[in-house]
Chain A
Amino acid sequence: DADVTQTPRNRITKTGKRIMLECSQTKGHDRMYWYRQDPGLGLRLIYYSFDVKDINKGEISDGYSVSRQAQAKFSLSLESAIPNQTALYFCATSDLLYEQFFGPGTRLTVL
């Protein structure tokens, strides 16, 4: 089984809809991250969490919110999706400041 899983893997939604992307990990890491990937822009950090009670905004948090339900679960929500939120979303985990382990990604399209 994969160490970091993301659901759904693909999602098409309409402008204005609320959508939630979910991430689960079995690595036992405290640190979890949500990134967005757009062509030519690399990976940009949306939110990160160092434990259940420690949640921080990243570089591009506007329009997004997160919930850390447990050490193993970190969800990303788009309260009212807009077309420029169409992107590939990755969840990642890490132990301290060492390597990050990425999930398979969620491809989101907002029409």
Chain B
Amino acid sequence: GQQVMQIPQYQHVQEGEDFTTYCNSSTTLSNIQWYKQRPGGHPVFLIQLVKSGEVKKQKRLTFQFGEAKKNSSLHITATQTTDVGTYFCAGGGSARQLTFGSGTQLTVLP
């Protein structure tokens, strides 16, 4: 079945540093979604990418979908303490559901 790998599992950064998490699928994806889960909270949708090579920005967050639609990345510029949480990618494939990556837990040190 479809597998979605996400790295790194953990990342500690100083406030103001940049952060990137990467997602790779074993199969070609129809779309990829990104979610953020704050400590003690539930996953919250951030964005969906559908097109090959697509790049979307939300303020300091930049999301990319690879040309082959098998990989994606989330980049945060100049992290802030409010960015703390776990970031998940989730790939949509031929099946009718999403496959979630294992997540990257981001800690931002003040």
Contacts and interface: CB of A to CB of B under 8 A. Distances in A.
Interface of A: 33, 35, 40-45, 48, 50, 56, 58-59, 90, 92, 97-105
Contacts of B27: none
A3 to B, nearest CB: 11
A-B interface, 8 closest residue pairs, ranked by CB to CB distance from nearest: A99-B45, A42-B102, A43-B100, A102-B42, A42-B100, A102-B43, A42-B103, A48-B97
A107 to B, nearest CB: 10
Interface residues of B, number: 24
Looking at chain A's contact residues, the main secondary structure is: strand
B97 A58 contact: yes
A23 B103 CA distance: 24
A35 B103 CA distance: 14
A59 B91 CA distance: 14
Contacts of A42: 6, 88, 100-103
Contacts of B35: 100
B92 interface: yes
Interface of B: 1, 6, 9, 30-31, 33, 35, 41-45, 48, 88, 90, 92, 96-103
A59 B48 CA distance: 22
B102 A40 contact: yes
Residue with the highest number of chain B CB atoms closer than 10 Å, among A40, A48, A99: A99
A90 B103 CA distance: 16
A104 B100 contact: no
A45 B102 CA distance: 12
B44 A102 contact: yes
A97 B45 contact: no
A33 B97 contact: yes
A100 B9 CA distance: 23
A56 to B, nearest CB: 7
Given A99-B48, A102-B43, A44 B100 contact: yes
Given A42-B102, A97-B31, A103 B45 contact: no
7 contacts: A42-B101, A42-B102, A59-B99, A99-B45, A99-B48, A102-B42, A104-B42
